[in-house]
């Protein structure tokens, strides 16, 4: 491992893809600031990252709270001095119809559509949460004329999925934010990219992977014939976060086994 002298902030880092991203970056010598809502999980991620020989800290942060994000920024500045990489990975998934759908059967709990509060909550985590984090740490990268931003989205931005309209809309907005900031920040040496994840077994997708018929339907759509592994996505994020990707910006890179071909 080579000490890169870089520091990365990763949201949704308590488990799953976020933890895998932290550990891959740490294995390459990048200091880790893991942010998540569950204390035990985020502290474990930080401990695992520190075992790679880098500075690592886990902070309990809900990205829907500007106060908590700002507090994290102050703690990171005191501990590391600066941030070079931001990975927006925090997310939630909600399965509900957009409006009431008569005769809909076989979907327990679908008798009620997405409420205003639920819609706002999903967008607040995925989209506005990323905005808060980038407003906190983006100015420092711009000032130092170096930075890498990777937004973890979903391949739903290239296809359609029923009953996930809030999630899909939030991810689509995050893709457009990626493009907009890539245009604004490129002159300052800051790249902004997104990775469009396909099917990965995580806590958020547990229900899907526990249903054999659901898994069969899913794999029929994937030319690779399998789900992804967390380490594969983490490797892509690490590449986009590194020196060699300095001429890649504004892109949404699919990692979905060919599902959206």
Q: Which residues belong to the active site?
A: 167
Which is it for the CA torsion 225, 251, 162, 17, positive or negative?
positive
Bridge partners (DSSP) of residue 57 are: 33
For residue 248, report the phi and psi dihedrals to the nearest 5 degrees: -110, 115
Choose among 47, 258, 71, 15: nearest CA to 159. 258
């Amino acid at each position: 491992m080579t000490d890169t002298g870089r520091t990365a902030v990763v949201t949704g880092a308590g488990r799953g893809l976020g933890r895998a991203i932290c550990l891959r970056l740490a294995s390459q010598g990048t200091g880790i600031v893991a942010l998540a809502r569950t204390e035990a999980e985020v502290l474990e991620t930080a401990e695992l990252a520190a075992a790679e020989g880098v500075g690592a800290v886990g902070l309990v942060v809900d990205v829907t709270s500007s106060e908590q994000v700002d507090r994290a920024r102050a703690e990171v500045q005191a501990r590391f001095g600066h941030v070079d990489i931001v990975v927006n990975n925090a997310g939630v998934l909600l399965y509900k119809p957009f409006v009431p759908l008569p005769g809909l059967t076989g979907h327990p709990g679908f008798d009620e559509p997405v409420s205003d509060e639920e819609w706002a909550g999903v967008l607040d985590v995925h989209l506005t949460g990323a905005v808060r984090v980038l407003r906190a740490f983006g100015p420092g990268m711009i000032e130092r004329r170096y930075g890498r931003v990777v937004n973890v989205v979903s391949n739903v931005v290239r296809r359609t999925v029923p009953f996930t309209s809030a999630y899909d809309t939030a991810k689509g907005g995050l893709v457009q934010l990626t493009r907009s900031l890539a245009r604004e920040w490129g002159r300052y040496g800051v790249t902004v990219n997104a990775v469009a994840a396909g099917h990965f077994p995580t806590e958020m997708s547990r229900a899907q992977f526990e249903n054999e018929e659901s898994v069969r339907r899913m794999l029929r759509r994937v030319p690779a014939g399998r789900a992804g592994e967390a380490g594969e996505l983490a490797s892509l994020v690490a590449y986009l976060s590194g020196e060699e990707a300095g001429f890649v910006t504004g892109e949404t890179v699919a990692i979905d086994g060919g599902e959206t071909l």
